[in-house]
Structure 1
Amino acid sequence: MKKIFFLVIIILFPASILFSQTKKENTVTDAQNVFSRPYDYVNDFEKILNPDQITNLTNTLKAFEKQFLYKITVVTTSTIQPYTSFPDYSLELDKYLAKDPKLDPTILIVVSKELRQIQVQSIDLIRYKLSDNDTQNIITTYAVPEFKKGDYGKGLELAVDQIMNKLKTY
């Protein structure tokens, strides 16, 4: 009896391995699904801005794009999954948005209150107007002090105003 039971186990065990299904992870599709939501000038996915702040910032960014043809997009997020670093997440989001000419930002500002991170992506063509040092200075001087006070709307508004002033020059 034990031999028969042992033989049945040996015969069935390899069969179960052959017919079992494994989940294949498709990181490209997963990454695209992370960004598959509608995007506008201000995208408060983390819910850290009030409706008035969103409206004011959106109107400012729309008017600036109409006048100067530079599109600035702001995105807030509480998670960067499946990415492991905030810069990687921001870069991939920028690439995702660049695929659609209506969404393609000249400057992308990604903020996370929960992760305490901010990242600014810009196209190479504006580096002569807005260098990485300029951007860093704007963020540390205008945005971060307001973020520390808990006023993300004001911090973003001040930073965006300074970025727009830099882009208006020349």
Structure 2
Amino acid sequence: MKKILLVVTFTLFLPYALLAQTKTEAQAIFAKSTNYVNDFEKILTASQIKNLNDFLKAGENKTKTKITIVTTSSIAPYTNLTDYSSDFEQYLVSTLKIDSSILIVLSKQLRQIQIQGVNKLRPKMSDQEIKDIVSAYVLPELKKGDYHKALQEGTIQLIKKLE
């Protein structure tokens, strides 16, 4: 009888333990980011990261809007970039106390880009204007394989719209 009770107990609690570990692993991924540019996918050089960091810091001083860029090769355990970037933004605000007004998540491997925090910008910029910036300035450079220029051009245009 004790063995049956033990097996039933493990069966009931094992799924919860597995789910809890998955969430912790995701938060461990998020914990690495503290800068304006967080290149986890290693697609930018050190000088490109410094250049973007300096530009975004100056842009924040002008517009009072912080832009954070994250590159990642994997969004596991998430299944889509929208959920990943939404949880990442929440993690920045709640755990690291970094209020990133705009979060740009780019994945070269997944061939996706997501701009998060658009709701905060609605008074200054519409969804269509953001889509236009991405399609006119970011996507052409991404197609050429120039990730630095894509991110630079996109952030330049976002900052111009916010000024």
TM-score normalised by length of structure 1: 0.83
Q: CA deviation at 1:64?
A: 1.2
Percent identity, aligned pairs only, is 44
Matched, 1:38 2:28: no
Gaps of 5+ in 2: none
Matches within 5 A, 1:100-111: 102-111=97-106
Task: Write 1 or 2 for the structure with the bigger share of helix.
Answer: 2
- 1:59 matches 2:54: yes
> Match of 1:73, SS?
strand
Report the RMSD for the aligned CA atoms in angstroms: 2.3
Q: Deviation of residue 131 (structure 1)? A: 1.4
Counterpart residue number, 1:151:
146
Query: How far apart are the structure 2 equivalents of 1:100 and 1:17?
Result: 37
Q: Distance in 1 between matches of 2:64 and 2:130?
A: 19
Shift of residue 15, structure 1, vs aligned partner: 7.9
In the alignment, structure 1 residue 90 sits paired with structure 2 residue 85: yes
Length, aligned pairs only: 158
Offset at 1:12? 10
Q: Which has the larger radius of gyration?
A: 1
Q: Runs of 4 or more off by more than 4 Å in structure 1?
A: 11-16, 18-21
Equivalent residue number for residue 76 of structure 1: 71
Relative to the length of structure 2, the TM-score reads 0.86
- The code of the aligned residue for 1:154 comes to K
Structure 1 unaligned segments of length 5 or more: list them. Answer: 1-10
Shift of 1:132: 1.2
